[in-house]
Structure 1
Amino acid sequence: MTLSDSAANRDLLTYLCARATRGSGGPYEQDGWELHTHPDLVERLGEIARSDRAVVAVYGYAVLEQKGVAVVVALGTSHLLFRLRAAPEGVVAATPIEPLCGNGRGWHAVDAWSSDARRLVALVKDARRHANTLEDSDLG
């Protein structure tokens, strides 16, 4: 599965594309884009997702998708953005990423390393359930 270009993903794709850098053949690239997610964080995302099948590369960022909808995004070395109905509890918040966090966009920034892995696994499940309820009319 790949990430769809539906209204559900529009804000995220715009944000990632604007910050993307085309690769030049170096070792830190994926699908022709320079990596903007540290490999350790990609591994952490795969661990909490309980599978790396649904982790896709989008403009050099690691994104966990559910039926074509982005549910978790790994940024830099420690940021995980979860698409959730409400702010998560029981985790260490990370600096919000504007313009994705706030304003009812549904993205919440979490520190991947300071937060308990079991709680992050539960948030992945919550984000997947939330994605299953989203319709394009709700997002765009």
Structure 2
Amino acid sequence: MGIVSNVTSDHPLNAPLLAMLRAQGVKGSGDVYDLDGWQLHTHPDLCDHLRSLNRACTTSAYGVPVLANDKAVYFAIARGTSFLAFRLPEPERSEATAAGGKPFPEAGGDWVSVEPWITDKTLLTKWCRAAHSYANSIKD
């Protein structure tokens, strides 16, 4: 799927998201829509959309495409046909919420889901970069 291999990181910040994905994950059967050994839980068009935001950090967890930094801290996820979320710092978290984003507490308090098909691609790119920078600022 991407340049980064399948990452099911034990990083403590990923624990809530991984628990949710693990509970929903279904082992793959070798089908064309399996993702790294798991049934894909994201529409292929949305997978491509996420990948277009940061190709170098694309990986997956339990059949769901995610973006992770080199320390394996997840900073973006895409699910279903229209669910895209970022791990955002302030002020970008408030900006995304003001633009119609919703908190994604299942993944942690700093995650916000946004509408991937309606939100301007420039904003999505900005938030993705902020999320990546934020993940990079997290100490081990």
Q: TM-score, normalised by structure 2?
A: 0.83
RMSD: 1.8
- Counterpart of 1:9? 14
Moved more, 9-18 or 82-91: 82-91
Structure 1 regions of 5+ residues with no counterpart? none
CA distance in 2, matches of 1:125, 1:16: 23
- Counterpart of 2:43? 38
Secondary structure at the counterpart of residue 129 of structure 1:
helix
- Counterpart of 1:60? 63
Query: Cα distance 1:99–1:65, how it changes in 2: closer, same or farther (>3 A)?
Result: same
- Counterpart of 1:28? 33
Secondary structure at the counterpart of residue 75 of structure 2:
strand
Determine whether 1:110 maps to 2:114: yes
The answer (yes or no) to whether the contact 2:14–2:107 under 8 Å persists in 1 is no
Q: From 96, 104, 107, give the equivalent of 1:100.
A: 107
Identity of aligned residues (%): 35
In the alignment of these two chains, the number of paired residues is: 130
What is the identity, as a one-letter code, of the residue corresponding to 1:62? P
What is the identity, as a one-letter code, of the residue corresponding to 1:56? T
The answer (yes or no) to whether the contact 2:68–2:76 under 8 Å persists in 1 is yes
Shift of 1:23: 1.3
Structure 2 regions of 5+ residues with no counterpart? none
